[in-house]
Amino acid sequence: RAPAAPRLAPLPAPAPAPVPATKPSPPTRSGIPPWYDLDAKWDACLDLSIRRVAYSSLAGAFGGLILF
C-alpha cells in the first residue's frame, strides 16, 4: 500500500478590512445633535426648493424666448 499524501492546512480567512473611525458631528449651539435638528433640515430644504424653482423658471423663460 502506498503512503497517503500529506494533508495541507486550510488557508486562514482573510482579515476584515479596518473600519475607519467616524467622528460624530458636534452638537449645534442649541445642544441638539445634527441628525435631529429639524430647523437646519427645513432651512436646507427651503433653500434648495427656492433655488430650483428660480433656476427652472429662468431656464423655462429663456427656452420659451428662444423658441418664440
- Grid cell for residue 28: 449645534
52 domain-assigned: yes
Q: Residue 27: CB partners within 8 Å, gap ≥ 6?
A: 33, 34
Q: Is residue 15's pLDDT more than 70?
A: yes
pTM: 0.47
4 domain-assigned: no
Q: How many domains does the chain have?
A: 1
**In 3-state terms, what secondary structure has residue 32?**
coil
Write out pLDDT tens, residues 29-45.
667 776 777 888 889 99
CA atoms of 27 and 21, how far apart (whole Å): 18
Give the type of residue at 2: A
Residue 62 confidence (pLDDT): 96
Which residue range(s) make up the domain with 63? 35-67
Backbone φ and ψ for 58, nearest 5 degrees, come out as: -65, -40
Give the type of residue at 65: L
